[in-house]
A = this chain, B = another copy of it.
Amino acid sequence: MYIAKVVGMVVATRKEEDFVGKKLLIVQGINEKEELLGLPEVAVDAVGAGTGEVVLITKGSAARSVFGKPSSAIDAAIVGIIDSLEVNK
């Protein structure tokens, strides 16, 4: 999993049925200083996250498992809202 910030959302009228009724949020990895890292991704929200929140992202078949349907078009999901980070490098 990785730590990300929700930086936006996507509106798509024409899409696979698996996405209907789900929030498609734009997320980007961050470090402990909340600096953005890597490339943005789109993750389906499973925990009621919103823009600006620091969240936990899971990918691949792990992301599908969250929505109770092993075969679906989903390959990334928001699976936690992070309250705090403790980092000692």
Contacts and interface: CB of A to CB of B under 8 A. Distances in A.
A32 to B, nearest CB: 7
This chain's copy number in the assembly: 5
A40 B8 contact: no
Interface-central residue, A10, A38, A48, by most chain B CB under 10 Å: A10
Interface residues of A, number: 63
A59 B62 CA distance: 11
B58 A60 contact: no
Interface string A1-34: 1110001111111111011000010101101100
Interface of A: 1-3, 7-16, 18-19, 24, 26, 28-29, 31-32, 36-43, 46-48, 51-52, 56, 58-66, 70-77, 79-89
